[in-house]
Structure 1
Amino acid sequence: MATTLTGGNPHIVQLPTTPPSSGGCDPRAIVQQWFNALQAQLSQPDSIDLKYLFHAESWWRDMLALDWDMRTLHTSAEIQNFLRKCQAQVQLSGFKLQDQGKWQPKVEQVVDGLSWVSSMFFFETAVGKGSGMIRLTQGADECWRAYAVYTSLQEMTGAEEPIGKRRAAGTTESMPGGLASGTWIERRERQKEFLDSEPTVLVVGAGQAGLNIGARLQSLGLSCLIVDKHERVGDNWRKRYRTLVTHDPAEFTHMAYLPFPQNWPQFTPKDKLGDWFEAYASILELNVWVKTSVASAEYNDATAEWKVNVTRGDGSSRTLRPRHVVWCTGHSGEARIPSFPNQESFQGTVYHGSQHTDASDSDVRGKKVIVVGTGNSGHDIAQNYYENGADVTMLQRSGTYVITAEKGVFMMHEGMHEDGGPPTEECDIVSESLPFPVQFALGVHNTKRFAAAEKETLDGLRKAGFQLDFGVDGAGIARAYMTRGGGYYIDVGCSQLIIDGKIKVKHSPRGITGFGPRELCLEDGSTLPADIVVLATGYDNMRTTVRKVLGDKVADRCQDVWDLDNEGELRGMWRPSGHPGFYYFGGNLALCRVYSKFLAFQIKAVETGLSTGNRQY
């Protein structure tokens, strides 16, 4: 049974093969026996021996249950050494199997040649309670051993979230100081302005990242101020191009604590989402200062405290002294804008896709429009220009992965984040429970399945000259997003326009050499007539924004963001950044919901003395 890292590309693994299922097994008995044996080993931390419990090529992904960081451990030897090192302090114990719902112990036929017994489980540690997933597979000796284990901290003892039966009473008498300290609204006005205290955490940016992490922090009892440069909460979506609609379905994109209503549209228009963000901030009592920008920031290593100067909309300034700064300016926040020879002599219009509002802002009928780039934004902008009468050509340098919102996207969420599916909290645990390299390996099989369902669309694109790329190892969208942050298009209508020849495609693998007065010049010697050129060329690393706003001293201590580190976890994001007291936070709505809990726990652990919050990269 082999699961190996192969050369050439990092984190490409071969899934194991398992014996044909003999049937008639008792999944609950198999999993319970395994946990009984694990608990026996954990009771003797210094001599833990996992050779009968794990395959040689096994995985353990941990979200803060064993270490105050996100870790992926590969091979039984590495897992054994890690447990020997941490178990005496962590005290992992009290394993209990899921006894209801979809993720009770069961046999799963995962892909051809691979089946496993899986179950959700619950556990305790010295600092709280957690949830996880176990996948057991049979080897040639027919013994059941762990292929993949996931542990995640879900609750910190002494800092339980005030939800359900623990919700606050809400009466004036139950609030600290009683009526003498004011009514709820009087307290809120002082809290929002931080007239009596400093925020423990300063969050920069009030999009899905800032709002989710702000809600999580406040539920853990940490004072938090969110600042945003826009006029209103939600403007980071409202001010995007006019036709933008989310490409992920509603059940996948809920926010922490407050899911969308059941009559919410499947895909959310940008302005509607912006209004939801504004309501969310109010309902969850988040402290947000809009029209506020960070002017400067310095960190004092001796006091573990920031000095942050902010400028507010009325021209006033304020110096804040938080212990933590969470940078939520957007994974796609800083536009990557290339320049080309003779661009200044071009007599048409050139702009980056981030500056696009709507093609109807001017009369573009009959105009020659070149969209450089074939990701989500490039397609949406090309479609917008076509629908307003322009003659549109998309310039494609390399292949793009295409999946349709109509079929493939819903296939991705089958049995998980979908209408009538299991609770979101359980789906979140399961969806993050496999290490990214294993997720990518499974993605190879799923990508083939999606392609078969979308064959007509993909064949039509190929015939139209659009080049497809199914990604490294053929792993499709998940790997493209987690390693590149792009390189794909979720089709909401533009593909058919390409297939029908209504939007043209020009393939130029060697790119652009420059501009002429009325044309774009390509490396192959050809030219494209152009009145308008839109550079849908993507965005820079978030570290670029940090350097631009906070300067080199801070940015030099941070690491770059995104792509996988040596272990297979996402680099820099949702975890220590390299700079003490500074964290990057971003991603789509679902990832911000899931990982906001873990980042909030990390900050709480620092504040309670359980962690230093630092990790050397």
Structure 2
Amino acid sequence: MIPAEPSGWNDEPIRPPNADSTIGWAGVPLSDTLGYYGHVKRAVIPTNTELGFTPDYASVDPVKIAEAFADSFAKAVESQKVDVILEHVYTGGYWKDVEVLTWDIRTLHGHDQIRPMLVERLPKTGIKNLRINPQVAPSLETLGDDLSFILIHFEFDFEHGTGVAVARLSPLKAKTGAASELADVASWKIYTIGTTLETVQGWDAEFGDKNRYQRAKVYDPEGKGRTYADLRRDEADCKGEDPVVVIVGAGHTGLSMAARFKLLGIPHLIIEKGDHAGYSWATRYASLSLHGPTFTNHMPALPFPHWFPVFLPAQQLAKFLYHYAEIMDLNIWTNSHLDGETAVYDEEKGRWTLHVTRKDGSQRTLHPRHLVIATGMSGTLPNVPEVPGMADFEKNGGTVVHSSRHRTGADWKGKRCIVVGAATSGHDISYELSESGCEVTMLQRSSTHIMSVETSVRYLFKSRELTNRRGGQPLELADQANFLKHPYPVEYELMRRGQKKTRELDHDFLEALSNAGYRLHDGFHGGGAYSMFPFQQGGFYWDTGCCQLIIDKKIKMLHTEIERFTKDGVVYKDGTSQQADVVIFATGYMNSKSAIQALLGDKMAKKCHERWEKGNSFFIGPEGESIINYCPLPQKGLYAAFHQFAFTRFHSTRLALRIKAEELGIDVTPYGNKPLGPPSTAAGRQPRPEGVPL
């Protein structure tokens, strides 16, 4: 059965400030919406309770059912008989499309939304030869005692290339769930399906195109006899022609996008303000490591070595990214600045005018057709509260710093440190300070979701540990399943199933933490970190050691805020005081996620529907997909790209193929009527007043 809302856990502190506890946007109960944001409706998943019976899944032959279903579904799709296609889809089912039918990222829910999309787009797309992917056999996917699906991977051809799809079938037409019923393919319908591009006119963003793009030896297209080194120097300096695409940012997202363009034969250039590729990772606090497993974080075309640690240190990642850019022959101008204020798009010519200042002070004017902003998931303005007395504290030798600029000094042993904030950065820095011999106090202002990296996080990712290795699934197939088999509203409902198990695994650890005075919660609707991440970004910590120091009282916990600084410490809002040498604000960022606004200003941000919203940091629209990230924007030729490694790896392929299709002259006009949602700043709060800055 679906786990009940967790008892003994309290998620009230993580609701947006001033949010009504019952009503979200447009009078929608918060219990019916994702992330308490008020306009993304929760999905109803086909559990035994919803079906009204207990299916005899043990009797199911998934291959036999899948083959019969695929044959019938393929005929319906190729004949473009929309009503027949919809007979294969549950009335309340989901069709997620990533840049093949819609040339956008869309999730259509129910027949009323799916039908008009298919009527308009199937004739333009011409999907044919839909077949089961021979690399992965259909399987029975069991997600609990009360929920199972038949999982099918498809391949298909379409008007301009090839694509892939992943579908989940449920016995939605069965009456009793008996073995004889489940053996009948007519009992099964699609609950979710996802479709996406794989190649465009033979161009492949993962493997390149050796027939068109590679030769037996280095070849100078201009016939000048230039060597490899000559060609690389001229290409990196953009001599002879402007890049087709300019990317801002050489972190993992910018490098992933550039790698895709390299493989697709699209001239590109990265503008990076730091010294080298991966600079943003190299300059973080020394103890930082990735909390996502390395086997899920591989870069495009050049995976991490299998011997890398499961949770990669940021310094090791930075080194890999530096060499990744070199090995992949990516074009990067480091120590360079793009002047966003003077960036202009010429609608008639279909190109940008960009002014770039390079390291030596020289200026270049570029005219690319596409601009990708890949400046990261965090904002550019650290959020350091203005607290009275801060200047006097610093004049007296005290240190005040934001977590993004913190570096533990070699001589800090014995220093009295206060860390404001109890999410990932707050814990990592507190751990680092304690291990360096500092006296540490952490201020936990609201409750935090906790999972242990070594136990529960590894449990959640256990099925993917062999990805790209002997005995495991190829990375591209794992990504297809991860990002196509369900849209986010369905994933949101499934999260608490895994979360229920992690609570059991972490029970003693979490109980000890609670007994130490730590305030815990379990994510929105009990869904853990990923139920929060697209909305709050923070509010959770995957423990790599800090929590044990809190349990052991080596790190002191307080539940208050700083009211004012004194010359040698702070006074808290509860009236108590504390002496301190260092105060570190692990309090996040201003304008987090507003990459377009930060680079190109308010006018462009408003045009692209980008607005900073606490409570919706990924700009999730009513369909459950971001209206900003990796998708076409109202400003032609402009894209924003940010997310974790696996998401970036999958979606960079599709965005690059979309741009390649446009460069090949294919009509990539996106499917219309995309809902954007209300211009809110958080669930239950009023829209930003006119005239108030983003």
**TM-score, structure 2 normalization:** 0.83
Counterpart position of 2:338: 294
Counterpart position of 1:284: 328
Residue 340 in structure 1 maps to residue 387 in structure 2: yes
Cα 1:188–1:129 change in 2 (3 A) is: same
Counterpart position of 1:145: 189
Residue 327 in structure 1 maps to residue 373 in structure 2: yes
1:317 to 350, 363, 366: 363
- Alpha-carbon distance between aligned partners in 2 of 1:557 and 1:369, rounded to the nearest angstrom: 44
Runs of 4+ deviating beyond 6 Å: 613-616
2:58 to 14, 17, 23: 23
Residue 363 in structure 1 maps to residue 398 in structure 2: no
Write the mapping of 1:175-574 to structure 2, written as runs, cut at 5 A: 175-178=220-223, 180-296=224-340, 297-334=343-380, 335-346=382-393, 347=396, 348-358=398-408, 360-365=409-414, 367-418=415-466, 420=469, 421-433=472-484, 434-508=486-560, 511-541=561-591, 544-558=594-608, 559-560=610-611, 562-574=618-630
Q: Work out whether residues 440 and 555 of structure 2, in 8 Å CA contact, stay in contact via their aligned partners in 1.
A: yes
| CA apart distance, 1:364 | 4.2
Q: What letter corresponds to residue 341 of structure 1 in structure 2?
A: P
- Alpha-carbon distance between aligned partners in 1 of 2:633 and 2:410, rounded to the nearest angstrom: 41
- Alpha-carbon distance between aligned partners in 2 of 1:240 and 1:447, rounded to the nearest angstrom: 30
1:66 to 86, 98, 101: 101
Q: What letter corresponds to residue 311 of structure 1 in structure 2?
A: T
Cα 1:612–1:117 change in 2 (3 A) is: closer
Q: What letter corresponds to residue 520 of structure 2 in structure 1?
A: L
- Alpha-carbon distance between aligned partners in 1 of 2:214 and 2:349, rounded to the nearest angstrom: 36
Provide the aligned C-alpha RMSD in A. Answer: 2.5
- For structure 2, the 5+ residue unaligned runs are 3-28, 49-53, 176-180, 182-186, 612-616, 677-694
- Alpha-carbon distance between aligned partners in 1 of 2:41 and 2:551, rounded to the nearest angstrom: 35
2:83 to 48, 54, 57: 48
- Alpha-carbon distance between aligned partners in 2 of 1:544 and 1:56, rounded to the nearest angstrom: 37
Counterpart position of 2:662: 606
Q: Work out whether residues 82 and 115 of structure 2, in 8 Å CA contact, stay in contact via their aligned partners in 1.
A: no
Counterpart position of 1:92: 127
- Alpha-carbon distance between aligned partners in 1 of 2:154 and 2:645, rounded to the nearest angstrom: 26
Identical counterparts, % of pairs: 33
SS of the residue aligned with 1:149? strand
1:387-421 deviation line (CA, Å, top 9, x unaligned) = 12222111111111111221122222222254643
- Report the more deviating stretch, 584-593 or 61-70: 584-593
| CA apart distance, 1:51 | 5.2
- Alpha-carbon distance between aligned partners in 2 of 1:173 and 1:252, rounded to the nearest angstrom: 34
| CA apart distance, 1:241 | 0.9
- Alpha-carbon distance between aligned partners in 2 of 1:173 and 1:230, rounded to the nearest angstrom: 31
Q: Work out whether residues 253 and 645 of structure 2, in 8 Å CA contact, stay in contact via their aligned partners in 1.
A: yes
Q: What letter corresponds to residue 429 of structure 1 in structure 2?
A: Q
- Alpha-carbon distance between aligned partners in 1 of 2:82 and 2:306, rounded to the nearest angstrom: 52
- Alpha-carbon distance between aligned partners in 1 of 2:67 and 2:115, rounded to the nearest angstrom: 20
- Report the more deviating stretch, 565-574 or 25-34: 25-34
- For structure 1, the 5+ residue unaligned runs are none
| CA apart distance, 1:149 | 0.8
| CA apart distance, 1:107 | 1.7
Write the mapping of 1:569-580 to structure 2, written as runs, cut at 5 A: 569-580=625-636
1:453-481 deviation line (CA, Å, top 9, x unaligned) = 11122111111111111111111121222
Cα 1:219–1:385 change in 2 (3 A) is: same
- Alpha-carbon distance between aligned partners in 2 of 1:398 and 1:42, rounded to the nearest angstrom: 51
| CA apart distance, 1:322 | 1.0
- Give the total of aligned pairs: 609
SS of the residue aligned with 1:194? coil
1:173-231 deviation line (CA, Å, top 9, x unaligned) = 755345x3422221111111111000111111111011000010121121100111111
- Report the more deviating stretch, 433-442 or 27-36: 27-36
- Alpha-carbon distance between aligned partners in 2 of 1:134 and 1:588, rounded to the nearest angstrom: 24
- Alpha-carbon distance between aligned partners in 2 of 1:86 and 1:40, rounded to the nearest angstrom: 17
1:82 to 95, 105, 117: 117
| CA apart distance, 1:605 | 2.9
| CA apart distance, 1:551 | 3.1
| CA apart distance, 1:614 | 9.8
Q: Work out whether residues 245 and 268 of structure 2, in 8 Å CA contact, stay in contact via their aligned partners in 1.
A: yes
| CA apart distance, 1:512 | 4.1
- Alpha-carbon distance between aligned partners in 2 of 1:214 and 1:345, rounded to the nearest angstrom: 47
Q: What letter corresponds to residue 349 of structure 2 in structure 1?
A: T
- Alpha-carbon distance between aligned partners in 2 of 1:519 and 1:173, rounded to the nearest angstrom: 64
Residue 126 in structure 1 maps to residue 159 in structure 2: yes
| CA apart distance, 1:258 | 0.2
Counterpart position of 1:115: 148
